[in-house]
Chain A
Amino acid sequence: MHHDRLVLYLLWTDLRTALRGIRKGDLAWLVLGGGVLVAYGIADIVFALAGYAETLRNARLIWTFEAPAATAVLGLLLGLAASRMARAKALAPFLRPLPLSLVARRRAALLAVSCFGISLAVIVVGLTGLAGLIVAIDDPLASALRAAAAFVSGFAAATFCALADMRTPVDPPALAHASQPGFHLPVLGRLDRATPRWLNAWAWRLPAGRVLLAVPWIVAGLALGIVMVLATGASFATRQAVPAAAAATIGGIAVFMLALRCHPLRSPVLRTAPIGFTRAWLRLMRLPLLLSVVFFSLPASAAVAVQPSAWPISVGCVLMLFILNAAYGVFAAYFATAPLTAALSFVLAIAYAYYESLEYGRTVLLGLAGLIALLWHQARRRYRNG
């Protein structure tokens, strides 16, 4: 095996090992169930496209701007995920003492990411072209190529950022102990004192209550703050509770998703301790839930102040927030070591359930509840049996 392809090869062997690790019965269910779902999804989309063909044909903005913009964002997200995965492989611990330059590592990672990107771009061309053909737009190939070009641009931009940021691999403790900007926030420690006390410090990586400042956290904090201020301002301006209540719910779940860390559920330290899955899970939920409620309470209070008669809206939002937080908590426990995958899966599941509920009504929620119960059961089984 030549080392130019090492990242691609490591990813491939990881995938093969993961597939081999799945029991044959589970694999059959996955292939059959997944196949049926995909076929259903494709049929659903084809019928929807055919049904709204005329409207879609006339809405030129969709094909010239909106579809490329959507594929660019998709490319950006997928590029980020693929390049982070490839980067982790290129900087694997066993490669650290080997004479492999940073350029060679970048090249190996780029090769793997390019293979992903090209395959995905071909899929984007195929799907967009097919959609154009079904809707019978003037030039489906041009639209497909435009969407693919936008996808490739987003993918390449994310890849460039992630791989340009690659640094010479050093021992992780050196990075962990490296001086990073941050500040002490003892109130975080006081917020949550239930036993086992080390759990949050471990999950959140808060050495002695020290909050490390990272660019993504600052950006997320600013974005949430701006949304909260704008929504509250809109409520006061229109004397309507809805904008502030909606911002409270969306912001609350966003804070919860950003804060929740379930990776300790996979650690032997916790799994061999006399602590049950439910207790450990609830314990990990506690601090993110507190932060979520704190964030929620500010715009929700504004909503009640603006329109006191609309208090049922705020109560409904609280209930909705708790349900969403609990549902995301289950996704996070299942994808314990991959918070990004957990977040994407959760958002997709909610979006899909919402889309299907437009056609089939609230019965779709039973399917979503079933999925959450299944994930809970699997997460608990993994915690107990490894």
Chain B
Amino acid sequence: MDNVRALDVRNVSAGYGGRPIVADIDFCVRAGDILGLLGANGSGKTTLLKALTGQLPLMTGTVAIAGIDLTGKPEKAKAAFGLAIEPGDLPASLSGQQYLELVASIRGCTADAWPCGDVMARLGLARWLPRPIAGYSLGTRAKTAIAAALLGAPPLLIFDESLNGLDPEAAWEVKCMIAELAQTEAHAIVISTHVVETVPALCNRAMFLAEGRILESWDAAALAQAAPTPGAFEAHIIRSLRDQKASSRRRALSSAAPA
């Protein structure tokens, strides 16, 4: 995996109804990387992740997962990543066990092919598994979605605000698992979050999206530099967000003003 890019995104634009929501996105993630994706609500994080996981057609550019082109060979490319889907999208009528068995069957592995120990025990999911997902709380659904993403140990793992709703212990376990997986250098992880402090604590790279474009990005060294003290990175992000809002307002006013 060392030389293979787990995720290679080139000049990607994607959106709805011919209108791009994200544009000119260029980055790559290598095995061992944990990329934190930051941005305000509506900045395009989820749209970008949907485009990267083949749920939204690309308007321009290419996405390659473990060297496989997502547009050309979608099934092969999808086999190389695990996405923790939104808890609301889980099939309510299935039990957790049935859902994991179904995902394992599609991925061609067993329902206990975890990359990092017994995920069921670590997340405290075992006792919920025989029950229908319809009866799960938001946190239990999120744990089920995370467990399904890990099944079959895909080289790229994508978590879209998946830590939301988890209890502190489960959130801690998930962060530990992410760090362990990255350390093996067999996996790369992309995690979008609004908990800014998670990024310097967990990730070795970060990207800040605003209005569908990459506004700022940090590699490991820059990230360490940007977070010299607790709270410093968060303060920097908040400043960027405010600057961004102010410049958007200025642009809106100048375009509305009579010539």
Question: What residues of chain A have their CB less than 8 Å away from a CB belonging to chain B?
Answer: 1-3, 6, 9-10, 13-14, 16-17, 92-101, 168-171, 173-174, 176-179
Contacts and interface: CB of A to CB of B under 8 A. Distances in A.
Interface in B100-118: 101-103, 105-107
Given A177-B17, A178-B17, A97 B93 contact: no
Contact of B55 (A9, A13, A97, A177): A97
B16 A177 contact: yes
Pick from B83, B85, B91 the residue with the most CB of A within 10 Å.
Answer: B91
B197 to A, nearest CB: 28
Q: B interface, by DSSP: helix, strand, loop or mixed?
A: mixed
Contacts of A14: 93
B55 A179 contact: no
18 contacts: A13-B94, A16-B93, A17-B132, A93-B85, A94-B89, A97-B53, A101-B75, A170-B56, A171-B56, A173-B16, A174-B16, A174-B56, A174-B57, A176-B16, A177-B16, A178-B16, A178-B17, A179-B18
Given A92-B91, A94-B91, A100 B106 contact: yes
Given A3-B102, A3-B106, A13-B93, 18 more contacts: A1-B98, A1-B101, A9-B98, A17-B93, A17-B134, A94-B91, A95-B106, A96-B55, A97-B55, A98-B106, A98-B107, A99-B78, A170-B55, A173-B16, A176-B16, A177-B17, A178-B16, A179-B18
Contact of B76 (A96, A99, A176): A99
Contacts of A179: 17-18
Nearest to A17: B93
Closest 9 CB pairs of A and B: A177-B17, A99-B78, A177-B16, A99-B79, A13-B93, A17-B93, A93-B89, A97-B83, A3-B105
B90 A2 contact: no
Interface in B231-249: none
Interface in B138-152: none
Nearest to B57: A170
Contacts of A1: 98, 101-102, 105
B106 to A, nearest CB: 5
B186 interface: no
A17 B98 CA distance: 14
